[in-house]
Amino acid sequence: MLIAGLQKMTLIDYPGKVAATVFTPGCNFRCPFCHNPELVHSSHFTVHGNEQVEKRMDEFFEFLEMRRGKLDGICITGGEPTLQPNLVEFIKKVKGLGFAVKLDSNGTRPGVLRKLLKSRLVDYVAMDIKASPENYARVCGVEANLEKIKKSVELIRDLADDYEFRTTVVSGLHSEEEFKEIADWLSGSRRYVLQAFQDQGKILDPKLRKEIAGKSIDLEKLKSFFVGKVREVLIH
């Protein structure tokens, strides 16, 4: 388990909780709008052997010990955290200290999600729904295994204590129409969050800027497709 970064306190990453956020390196998607490009290619995150990994881990758990009673939970985000080999053990240790755990995932590794959810190790899951199935490859930048993505959606709906599905909406990459399809796919789910892509100056594929220039999508209209299908629909 590698830790690429730590945000020591956040009031927005974990709904209703004061939390810290752990960033893990490496991702199996290449979303052109990704605003954490340095985390996507794990080779950008250089560790100098096991000693440094262990040191970072020790420092992290020392930090957690100090924050007992001050923080409610820990968010684990990436990159894609389910790619980390010792994620289960890491979360067990975090839970053992009494913290709630929120996991962000792109849903590509349902086997890991199943293990975590069946063992009740995760309290909140936020899974990205990148696009409608037909548009997935374009939006996530690779040929995603849609069966795995769909399996993750099912597992989360069946097993998670609390969860959200969410889409970063990029006008020009997404069409308005595909959200009708996503609404049908997620029908019966607890929560869906729409968030508009905002260019904060650092994205994985700068060519995207030309492609999306001048395009816009009305998030309120997209939201209306989900009303009556998903219990709670939010725009962030």
Q: 73: helix, coil or strand? A: strand
**Binding characters for ligand SF4, 122-151, by CB under 6 A (x = yes):** ------x-----------------------
Reading the block at residue 129, the tokens are: 């729904």
Phi, psi of 234 (to 5 degrees): -125, 150
Does position 26 bind ligand SF4 by CB under 6 A?
Answer: no
Q: Shortest distance, CB of residue 227 to ligand SF4, whole angstroms?
A: 26
DSSP letters, 145-159, are -HHHHHHHHHHHHHH
Q: Shortest distance, CB of residue 36 to ligand SF4, whole angstroms?
A: 5
Contacts (CB under 6 A) with ligand SF4, residues 159-218: none
Q: Shortest distance, CB of residue 43 to ligand SF4, whole angstroms?
A: 15
Phi, psi of 180 (to 5 degrees): -65, -40
The residue type of 92 is K
Does position 81 bind ligand SF4 by CB under 6 A?
Answer: no
The size of the interface with ligand SF4 (CB under 6 A), counted in residues, is 12
The backbone region for 16, taken as left when phi is positive above 0, alpha when psi lies in -120 to 50, beta otherwise, is left
Q: Which residue in the set 6, 10, 15, 30 belongs to the binding site for ligand SF4 (CB under 6 A)?
A: 30
- Smaller CB separation from ligand SF4, 71 or 141: 141
Residue 90 CA to its chain's centroid (Å): 17
Q: Shortest distance, CB of residue 34 to ligand SF4, whole angstroms?
A: 3
Contacts (CB under 6 A) with ligand SF4, residues 104-123: 106
Q: Near ligand SF4 by CB under 6 A, which window of 28-36, 65-73, 193-201, 210-218?
A: 28-36
What angle do helix axes 178-185 and 219-226 make, rounded to 10 degrees?
30
- Minimal CA–CA distance to 168: which of 198, 133, 197? 197
Q: Which residue in the set 67, 74, 75, 79 belongs to the binding site for ligand SF4 (CB under 6 A)?
A: 79
Q: 144: helix, coil or strand? A: coil
Binding residues (CB under 6 A) for ligand SF4: these are 27, 29-31, 34, 36, 40, 78-80, 106, 128
